[in-house]
Amino acid sequence: MRMSDVPPPLPPGFVRDPGDAWVYGPAGEKFWGRFGAAGLLVHNPERGVLLQLRVGWSHFGGTWGLPGGALKEGEAADVGALREAYEEAGVPASALEVLFTSVLDLGFWRYTTVVAAAAVPFEPVIGDAESVELRWVPVAEVDGLPLHPGFSAAWPALRDRLPTS
């Protein structure tokens, strides 16, 4: 087992979910979430999109991406994305209007991006140790940040589908 395969230490009393595990692709690449994963891209035309700076010990730490993570067994991707965004960034589901989803399906693993409009203004709050920073980033400035590779690949198509007003 490689050190990069060891999940971070857990807080006392925390029970790891069975979905919290690495999945390996045919070329040895790894993806978090035994049952797949999902993330939430929140958009506000005036403020931009809500991004998370990932903590250094996480997969692709030090990059900007979406609040999200591993799905629980049997959990729908939209439910998982909303749950993870609440846990990591305090995003209130009641403040959102889901616009669309985008799915990356690799056959052995899948990631769903849930895109939502911030129908009610809110301020994100770091809710766990996975975030260094949360920030509303103007859409035109996203490409200037060091992005998580998966988000970087998906961003152009996601950006093109965002409402302009």
Contact 146, 61 (CB under 8 A): no
* pLDDT surpasses 60 at 1: no
| pLDDT tens track for 48-62 | 999 999 999 988 999
CA gap 128, 14 in Å, rounded? 13
pLDDT band at residue 15, thresholds of 50, 70 and 90? low
* pLDDT surpasses 80 at 10: no
Strands 96-105, 131-137: pairing kind:
unpaired
pLDDT band at residue 2, thresholds of 50, 70 and 90? very low
pLDDT of residue 164: 83
Exposed / middle / buried, residue 8 (Cβ in 10 Å: 0-12, 13-18, 19+): exposed
pLDDT of residue 96: 97
Class of domain 18-160: alpha beta
| pLDDT tens track for 98-145 | 999 999 999 999 999 999 999 999 999 999 998 999 999 999 999 999
| H or E segment to which residue 39 belongs | strand 37-44
Sequence spans of domains, the chain? 18-160
pLDDT of residue 3: 44
